[in-house]
Amino acid sequence: MRIALFEPDIPQNAGNIFRLGACLGIPVDIIEPAGFVIDDKRLKRASMDYYNYLELKKHLSWEKFYEWSKDNSYRLVLLTTKSKKSYFDYKFQTNDIILFGRESAGAPDFVHSSVDERLTIPMIKGPRSINLSSSVAIVAGEMLRQLT
């Protein structure tokens, strides 16, 4: 199981996700270009010394990430507000990568059309979306609950 971030915008969110991945033993993939330099001081501040425990893999583009994921038999599971299928109703597998889009724009259509599954976190009507690092924590927790 893995967490992937498609072109993340906000270093503090990525830092929090790095810390989560480090503490839970879940590798994190960054799909470039990111909206910040991976060595950004805000990123390091958010991830603190947990960065040393993190298995992090950077991919130069969506195409490179997609090819790598398929070569390694991963299923791509996109979390999006544009799906009706709740993550509650999904049976996670150990070869799943939970994929999250950009904070500012989500995932583009070519990502939506490439993934194996699209899921959502049910919310009340009105708010646009849950913070990225909170969304990752919610779904990663359920994935771990199911698989461990």
Per-residue pLDDT at 45: 65
Q: Which fold has domain 2-147?
A: Alpha/beta knot (3.40.1280)
Q: What is the pLDDT of residues 101-127, one digit of tens each?
A: 999 999 999 999 999 999 999 999 999
Mean pLDDT by runs of 10 across the 148 residues of the chain is 97 91 96 82 67 91 98 98 97 98 96 98 94 98 97
Q: Return d(Cα 137, Cα 44) in angstroms, integer.
A: 19
pLDDT at 36: 81
Domain map (residue ranges) of the chain: 2-147
Separation between Cα atoms, residue 9 and residue 92, nearest integer Å:
27
